[in-house]
Structure 1
Amino acid sequence: MSKKFNRQRWFWGVFFLASAIILVLSQLGVFSYHVSVFTLVLTIILVAVLLNSLRYMMIPGAVFALAFLAILYAHPLGIASLVPWTILGAALLLSIGLSIIINPRRFWERRWHHHHRNFNHHHGNWDDWESTETIDDAHVNLDLSMSNSIRYIHSEALASANIRVSTGGAKIYFDDVTLANETATINLDVSLSGVELYLPRTWQVRVNLDNNMSHIDTLGQPTTAGPVIDLTGRISLSGLTINYL
């Protein structure tokens, strides 16, 4: 077991233990501002998403976690006059602006090259950095939760992909994929997460998602002709970025 994994285990263990203590104390009236159990549990989840997003430069995940926290605590923050859609609209604009300024893709490239040098020098393990996996299958099924992950899809006959991400962040690369037919389906089930899809420019994406208080951002421009991808499913309290490569 790597030292990196041990540090993560201790961090999240202490985080949830502290959250349990805060939950009990809040119900005993120790804090001056009383919140419901549901609000406090949702706060804990959003803070976890925020910390994960900041650590791995998931800009939409971090911004929208803060936005939902602002909605939950609008009264003590003195912003009750702002309707939720105003806050979410501002979060959308902030996430786009910060993504352009900070350029998280360049950040990831620097991190990858830095880790690659360390790997060659120390003969370490890729898992010491984060959860990374390459998948070669015609029918891709991913179930990612409470983690930050990178998945590289390599397939010469991709027919479908089912991707579930819960309370975490995920970067999923489809740039080395050949479709089985001229159409394919990518089905998403995303909640309280930040997800980035990296797709070939030649793919024509038809978005048919059930959007529950989430935002979808597109970076890059696809070509005017090519295979058709149906992007289906649902995203809830999350951020989705479609990157055309």
Structure 2
Amino acid sequence: MKTNRIIWGLLILVCGVLLLLSALGIDTGPFQWTKVIGSVLLLAIAVSGLIKLRFLLALMPIAGILYLWKLELGFPELNLWLLLAAAFVLGIGLAIIFRKSRDAFVFSHDQPDYVETAETDGSVITIRSSFGEQTKYIHAEQLKKVVINSHFASVKAYFEQVQPSADGLTIDVNAHFSGVILAVPRSWRIENKISSFAAEVSDRDSRIDATGPKVLLRGSTNFAEVKIIRID
């Protein structure tokens, strides 16, 4: 919900400021109150991510906590970027090991994190999600474009009731610290043109001999995963 997104956004902003103060070596006083507050906030985010099995969201805050207390832990030369990179790699590895099955992607509108903001003009659909989860079942004919913007969120889009336009369909995914699942008909011919940094785009069930509509997948992903699921 909107209030939930605002709270999480403020928490992350506060954590970012505290990390910046620590990185700049600004004195936080004898009681190191900024470290304590920052650690509590980061820990809350990590626990939230772990409960939902979002390993990146769980490990990145833990890396921040380690950096805040690097002197007390005996690692004065600890590099923040290397620490975040290690947390990212570990998060991706755990996500692969504990990858959910297709049946696990069933969504309930009763979930408190459900957030939906979708706009359509008949040929273009836009899906936005921030600090929450959203599932969109798309029913459209002559669909030309779908835009998915996801930030610190999880988005699942189902295309089984979609008929692309004669010129094809473009799916524009812009995901940052997010997981995006695209459930598409098995016959679709998907061309992946997504620009990725520290991200993964998987289409394990793709078929070379697919004869269906051509779909262009493009956009930008950072610290995110885009997974394509083929459905009959």
Q: TM-score range by the shorter chain?
A: 0.5 to 0.7
1:204 is aligned to 189
Aligned-residue CA RMSD in angstroms?
4.4
Matched, 1:227 2:213: yes
Distance in structure 1 (CA, Å) of the matches to 2:198 and 2:167: 32
1:106 aligns with 2:91: no
Corresponding residue SS for 2:202: strand
> 2:85 & 2:11 partners in 1: Cα distance?
33
Matching of residue 63 in structure 1 with residue 55 in structure 2: yes
Secondary structure at the counterpart of residue 98 of structure 2: helix
Q: Which runs of 5+ in 1 are unaligned?
A: 116-125
TM-score norm. by structure 1 comes to: 0.65
Residue 180 of structure 2 corresponds to 195
Q: What is the CA-CA distance between 1:15 and the residue it aligns to?
A: 8.8
Structure with greater helix percent? 1
The match for 1:130 is: 114
Identity of aligned residues (%): 18
Mapping for residues 75-154 of structure 1, pairs under 5 Å: 76=70, 88-99=88-99, 102-103=100-101, 105-109=102-106, 112=108, 130-131=114-115, 137-154=122-139
Other structure's SS at 1:130 match: coil
Q: Contact 2:5–2:132 at 8 Å: present in 1 too? A: no
Task: Give the distance between the partners of 2:115 and 2:4, measured in 1 at CA.
Answer: 17
SS in 1 for 2:174: strand
- Tell me the distance in 2 between the aligned counterparts of 1:11 and 1:205: 33
Aligned length: 212
Pair 1:237–1:47, CA change in 2 (3 A): farther
Q: Which has the higher contact order (CA 8 A, sep 6+)?
A: 1
With over 3 angstroms needed to count, the CA separation of the structure-2 counterparts of 1:154 and 1:11, relative to structure 1, is closer
Distance (Å, rounded) in 2 between the aligned partners of 1:50 and 1:145: 18
1:31 aligns with 2:32: yes
Q: CA deviation at 1:91?
A: 3.2
